[in-house]
């Protein structure tokens, strides 16, 4: 598994720092709100579990799954909900948790869909941002860090469902997916 990694882009230590920083900021910003943290499966699971343990507020957790890339490194452009949120989100301040903001299509679709359901507010938190690849006009409210235009895996992010359990974020060697 490690042989397939070109280089480490975000180390375990840096991930811990990101979770501390974002957790403290979110704790400040959501004080007194009706916080519902919604993770987008499956890429956000490690980030969500570490981040929420740095949020010092009462909150609820839920999940949403959307259609994924499969064995490709490019999104198809169409987004489909595979698993919906269980909770009726009306009146909640929803914090959407995503692994990486790439073209922006996924988060645009999901945030617009949730807005129509009467949420009090929708806020976007992404671990990684790849601004070079954006095709829709969307930016996140909270960003862990930006990454260059390379295919990255680990800490939840996959290539064809593999590498999610790497404890860091690494760039995948091109020969693995080309």
| Chain contacts with ligand IMP (rule: CB under 6 A) | 43, 68-69, 75, 98-106, 151-153, 157
Residue with Cβ nearer ligand IMP (52 or 68): 68
Which of ligand IMP, Mg ion, none interacts with 151 (beta carbon under 5 to 8 A by kind)? ligand IMP
Cα torsion through 6, 12, 13, 16, rounded to 10 = 140
Q: 73 near 177, Cβ under 8 Å? A: yes
Residue with Cβ nearer Mg ion (30 or 50): 50
Q: 65 near 81, Cβ under 8 Å? A: yes
Residues that bind Mg ion (CB under 5 A): 43
Q: 116 near 17, Cβ under 8 Å? A: no
Residue with Cβ nearer ligand IMP (24 or 82): 82
From CA 8, how far away is CA 85, in angstroms rounded? 33
CB of 147 to ligand IMP, least distance (A): 7
From CA 87, how far away is CA 60, in angstroms rounded? 10
CB of 134 to ligand IMP, least distance (A): 8
The question of whether 141 is a catalytic residue gets the answer no
């Amino acid at each position: 598994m490690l042989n397939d990694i070109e280089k480490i882009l975000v180390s375990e230590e840096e991930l811990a720092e990101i979770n501390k920083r974002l957790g403290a900021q979110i704790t400040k910003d959501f004080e007194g709100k009706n916080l519902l943290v919604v993770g987008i499966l499956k890429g956000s699971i490690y980030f969500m579990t570490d981040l929420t343990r740095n949020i010092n507020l009462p909150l609820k957790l839920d999940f949403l799954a959307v259609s994924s890339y499969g064995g490709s490194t490019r999104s198809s452009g169409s987004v489909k909900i595979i698993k919906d949120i269980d909770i009726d989100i009306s009146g909640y301040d929803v914090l959407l948790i995503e692994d990486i903001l790439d073209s922006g299509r996924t988060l645009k679709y999901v945030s617009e869909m949730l807005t129509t359901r009467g949420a009090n507010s929708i806020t976007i938190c992404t671990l990684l941002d790849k601004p070079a690849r954006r095709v829709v006009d969307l930016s996140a409210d909270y960003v862990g860090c930006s990454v260059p235009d390379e295919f990255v895996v680990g800490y939840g992010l996959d290539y064809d469902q593999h590498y999610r359990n790497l404890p860091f974020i690494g760039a995948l060697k091109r020969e693995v997916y080309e």
